[in-house]
Amino acid sequence: MTYTTQMDAARKGILTPEIRTVSEKEGMTPERLMALMAKGRIIIPANKNHKNLSAEGVGEGLRTKINVNLGISKDCSDVEMEMEKVHLALRLKAEAIMDLSCFGKTQEFRKRLVEISPAMIGTVPIYDAVGFYDKNIKDISVDEFFRVVETHVKDGVDFLTIHAGLNRETAEKIKRNERITSIVSRGGSLLYTWMQLNDAENPFYEHYDRLLEICEAHDVTLSLGDACRPGCLHDSTDACQVQELITLGELTRRAWERNVQVMIEGPGHMAMDEIAGNMMMEKRLCHGAPFYVLGPLVTDVAPGYDHITSAIGGAIAAASGADFLCYVTPAEHLRLPDLEDMKEGIIASRIAAHAADIAKKIPGARKWDDAMSRARAALDWETMFSLAMDPDKPRAYRASSMPEHEDSCSMCGRMCAVRNMNRIREGKDIQLQD
């Protein structure tokens, strides 16, 4: 029996290699996995041309996944540095990498990325279009936009961010509802500009069936972008954001009719007390499709520390139903992140994702924590380091300030509660003084 996409296979009861891989990674039966995929509640982004992919599932009942953004730009066009970032993201176990390249030899970089990465790869084709054609945004034709999409798909990209929900109706809402930060989505702002200058409908909304045909042919997942995501707390959960979300729900159903997998992108900046409600709203309006969020950042006043503001929001969002977190680095809003910024952002996002998995009671999530707790109780430093999310940092901290006694740390020394309780339980004496 043949199939076109992973969703089509699930609906036909075909156990693809990718479905088998995800089933084994997640400890979910293939039957349960395929049932949720058939409904669109789980996706497995897996372009037929991405030969090195180690498939991951995103959605209901699965571990929360994280994505890392990178790519070359006009101001930072060092391809080899971006490749170093790729290797770092893979070493730190990011499940996805988004190539946001918008300058120079973007296809060459993208092909190298797809070739070496077992992580799923995403792109935003409209970023590439301006540099690809070396034209002003106004002068790019509809056919040219779609040729870039086709190029990315043929190169092996697993998911595409397309801001198809920003139609003329939503654009009018933006004009009528004043925001402090207007549109902060780069792709959304480019499409809005194109629409206004050409007095035309969003080409990806107007010609959505053409987009679905491309995705179906190569088994590419649509990540329906949130052009109206809030760029500050003031703008969250407003009419523009909600209107676009309603449209994305309608586009989701149309994609599923073609067996095209879909995830929905979400906020943005948002106060903590709005996050759970937004997660519920997305799941209702978009029929249970997986939710991919940037943050949310829970305050606007911490530039240089937005990996923390994002991790707080991401943990709440994922615990409330979000399935996929886009990392945020300390350099957010300020510059292109370097390797150290990336590491801080990845670890912060992984902490948020794992904390949420514990709250969601994902099978096996707490086993990792229990193993660490047993190592701590035994004062087994090497096991603690091996279990750590980032083994290098705790190892370096301990090496920088070694205690008098190996079975303690330099904070408590002989007064270490764990050390003393272990000794008492073993019938040994405790001497706090020389």
Is position 18 annotated in a ligand binding site? Answer: no
Is position 69 annotated in a ligand binding site? Answer: yes
Is position 269 annotated in a ligand binding site? Answer: yes
Is position 286 annotated in a ligand binding site? Answer: no
DSSP-based three-state secondary structure for 242: helix
What ranges make up the beta strands (E) of 91-219?
A: 96-99, 120-123, 159-162
DSSP-based three-state secondary structure for 6: helix
Cα separation, 9 vs 38, whole angstroms = 8
Contact between residue 95 and residue 124 where contact means Cβ atoms under 8 Å apart: no
| Kind and range of the H or E run holding 264 | strand 262-266
Question: Which tokens go with 308?
Answer: 């923390």
Is position 412 annotated in a ligand binding site? Answer: yes
Is position 327 annotated in a ligand binding site? Answer: no
DSSP single-letter state for residue 298? S
Interacting residues of 49 by C-beta distance below 8 A, sequence separation 6+: 114, 153, 154, 155, 156, 218
Cα separation, 393 vs 400, whole angstroms = 11
For tokens 């514990």, the residue is: 358
DSSP single-letter state for residue 156? T
Contact between residue 347 and residue 389 where contact means Cβ atoms under 8 Å apart: yes
Is position 292 annotated in a ligand binding site? Answer: yes
Is position 426 annotated in a ligand binding site? Answer: no
Is position 333 annotated in a ligand binding site? Answer: yes
Contact between residue 299 and residue 328 where contact means Cβ atoms under 8 Å apart: no
Is position 186 annotated in a ligand binding site? Answer: yes
Radius of gyration of the chain from Cα atoms?
A: 23
Q: Residue 67: beta bridge partners?
A: 96, 326
Cα separation, 322 vs 316, whole angstroms = 9
Residues shown for the chain: 434
Q: Between the CA of residue 47 and those of 160, 217, 387, 411, what are the distances in Å?
A: 11, 10, 33, 51
Q: Residue 42: beta bridge partners?
A: 59
Is position 229 annotated in a ligand binding site? Answer: yes
Contact between residue 73 and residue 82 where contact means Cβ atoms under 8 Å apart: no
Is position 141 annotated in a ligand binding site? Answer: no
Contact between residue 188 and residue 199 where contact means Cβ atoms under 8 Å apart: no
Q: Which residues are annotated as a binding site for [4Fe-4S] cluster?
A: 409, 412, 416
Q: Which residues are annotated as a binding site for Zn(2+)?
A: 269, 333
Q: Which residues are annotated as a binding site for substrate?
A: 69, 98, 127, 163, 185-187, 226-229, 265, 292
Q: Which residues are annotated as a binding site?
A: 69, 98, 127, 163, 185-187, 226-229, 265, 269, 292, 333, 409, 412, 416
